[in-house]
Structure 1
């Protein structure tokens, strides 16, 4: 048995014993693409399923505070909760800025809650490439519900719908016209809406705009119609009703046999993310090939094929 296999076996044993430090180590290995992390993923993937909720919305909408309140609701029901907070990357270190964890500090002593920040590293969808892999580890560790909170970077937030079973879009009265969000395509991915900071002026207006916009959108799979919940995360107002809405959507997925479709799409997204990361690394070290594209000597397609098959004549 190789050293890596020994490391994987030892870590796997501790992981299955419920050692939180083993979970943290496994997440680090997976996020860095280490072979031991990949081996752990193969052995642990698919052993359990959690209720996965994606929380997205523009920066400043109160996603982190709302997530904090939803954690409390889940804990009241006896659920073990995992949180993946995909933070903006530091432009200097590439690491996560950890802003979301600061707002959830009340849970740091609760053994039934585990919060992990992942650096987006510039991922266009606001999701790190390792997010789905980390999600699989949290499921295998036995969490009942996992919240995935994204950076909040506009239209490319649609990636969260490919990862989560239920997608919650958080809007605020102060964020502008809800119809503009609809035009951007962000609203089309939401299974539920939360109008947070509802105590600010314009709350009722944005709800009416949402209702009007949703009337124009096609029904979701199984005939689901996204409900709208007014919330004030700072005080907890409306959060219990929102949590019940999340539960209702999960029941809908079960009743219509849609969960398996979600899981397959999640795996497809993960494979695509690996390919994209592979392509990014390849092009960074292919200076001459890129220069030939810039000079018009090669088309981008020819350059990409050359990266895929270096033995191909050019």
Structure 2
């Protein structure tokens, strides 16, 4: 529970954040990440200020040049007059040293502290789940009046898929020569990718990597199942074939073209009324995620506070009942008590 004093402190932090105070933003992010009750209170308070930032999800294996590409993207966005927020959900990221931009962050040049805000998250068990925490951090950065928010992750696990439900545009970075990388893409993220980047284009095998991705896209389109009801299944933008672009993040080769592809995808979403579809998928998933966590919390509290739990367990050990039957009994009891 949040005390009235804490509510007043949070309200004050929100006012300061809205006025551009980066330190207040950092404190709110810490509360959102580590205290679920505080997170719920903060999101309720700031929600009316969200929905203005454009959110880009970026993933790629370690060594793919992802951080270098993000560095260059930040430069381009800042040069265009944009404020940029970054949530780094990647233990290998050079951004994972702290919340505020500083000398701990490997950047090509110094930005104004008001231009860029970086928040790292350790890929650990978060209160309410990693995806929940990430989505809430994004909302805070959105309410803090950032124009662009980048979500950086590594891997293609379920957490990444859940996180990218919050993104308007999802980018997957690959490099030549990693055969396992293509298998990993097949395993889960092909369906949500909006743009593929073949980075380190000067490496041997870059054209072959493009050809492999094109073949995968052809195969995926052949067997793709439409999702007209916009259910909880994540699909990439309907009618959009993910473009593949070769880049060199170090030299800046084709970075402008890559940024243009992001803008093209944004324009496509708007012109084809896909933004609403994205929002439906995003918020159905988010509500379900919160409900599941809250229900789990309540059931755990009921079980651990109930002295009868040991009797239930003893019945399982004695083979009088199986775990499924006991679970059904507990669930029915929980429903009746609710």
TM-score between the two structures when normalised by the length of structure 1: 0.83
Moved more, 2-11 or 198-207: 2-11
| TM-aligned CA deviation for residue 222 of structure 1 | 4.1
| TM-aligned CA deviation for residue 304 of structure 1 | 7.3
| TM-aligned CA deviation for residue 168 of structure 1 | 0.2
| Gapped regions of structure 2 (runs ≥ 5) | 225-235
The match for 2:252 is 236
Q: Is the 8 A contact 1:56 1:149 kept in 2?
A: yes
The match for 2:190 is 187
Alignment of 1:8-47 (within 5 A): 8-47=10-49
The match for 1:4 is 6
CA distance in 2, matches of 1:179, 1:9: 47
Q: Is the 8 A contact 1:88 1:121 kept in 2?
A: no
| TM-aligned CA deviation for residue 185 of structure 1 | 2.8
- 1:179-216 CA deviation, whole Å, 9 max, x = no partner? 52453132221000001122222111000111111112
Q: Indicate how the Cα distance of structure 1 residues 5 and 247 shifts in structure 2: closer, same or farther if over 3 A, else same.
A: same
User: Is 1:225 matched with 2:241?
Assistant: yes
The match for 2:279 is 263
1:148 partner SS: strand
The match for 2:231 is none
1:201 partner SS: coil
User: Residue 144 of structure 1 is aligned with which of 144, 147, 159?
Assistant: 147
| TM-aligned CA deviation for residue 108 of structure 1 | 5.9
Higher Cα Rg: structure 1 or 2? 2
User: Is 1:84 matched with 2:108?
Assistant: no
User: Is 1:71 matched with 2:95?
Assistant: no
Q: Is the 8 A contact 2:98 2:119 kept in 1?
A: no
Q: Is the 8 A contact 1:132 1:266 kept in 2?
A: no
Q: Indicate how the Cα distance of structure 1 residues 104 and 115 shifts in structure 2: closer, same or farther if over 3 A, else same.
A: farther
| Gapped regions of structure 1 (runs ≥ 5) | 90-95
Q: Indicate how the Cα distance of structure 1 residues 235 and 38 shifts in structure 2: closer, same or farther if over 3 A, else same.
A: same
Moved more, 130-139 or 272-281: 272-281
Q: Indicate how the Cα distance of structure 1 residues 171 and 116 shifts in structure 2: closer, same or farther if over 3 A, else same.
A: same
The match for 1:131 is 134
User: Is 1:303 matched with 2:306?
Assistant: no
2:24 partner SS: helix
2:270 partner SS: helix
Q: Is the 8 A contact 2:46 2:143 kept in 1?
A: yes
Q: Indicate how the Cα distance of structure 1 residues 190 and 39 shifts in structure 2: closer, same or farther if over 3 A, else same.
A: same
Moved more, 53-62 or 300-309: 300-309
CA distance in 2, matches of 1:302, 1:106: 60
- What count of residue pairs does the alignment treat as equivalent? 305
| TM-aligned CA deviation for residue 71 of structure 1 | 0.7
| TM-aligned CA deviation for residue 289 of structure 1 | 8.9
